[in-house]
Amino acid sequence: MTVDSENAALPDLTLGVPAAAVAEGRIVHGRVGEEEVMVARVDGSLFAVGARCTHYQGPLAEGLLVGQTVRCPWHHARFCLRTGEAIGAPAIDPISLWIVDERDG
């Protein structure tokens, strides 16, 4: 997904975000370069994955976190936050994974 005028308004996650902005069980929607990315904290760990479902590009940042998975709000595809793997139909392709570096809050 490329950055258009709407995506350009998303925070650039490469600049960092305060740790408090990613509270337990919460999602932060942003971008890395031209890709939409969501960051979620689950069980104290941070995960950064592609923010669009690989089925019909549904907005995963608006999805539901269940354990270490995110569920697409459109057709309920599920993705593992740890591996990016599609673990629930209708999606079959994985989402992108990003490295998260948490330091100094």
For residue 66, pLDDT beyond 90: yes
Query: Which domains does the chain carry?
Result: 5-98 (2.102.10.10)
Look at residue 5 in the predicted model and tell me its pLDDT.
59
% of the chain surpassing 70 pLDDT: 94
For residue 1, pLDDT beyond 80: no
For residue 56, pLDDT beyond 50: yes
Look at residue 69 in the predicted model and tell me its pLDDT.
98
pTM for this predicted structure: 0.88
24: number of Cβ within 10 Å: 11
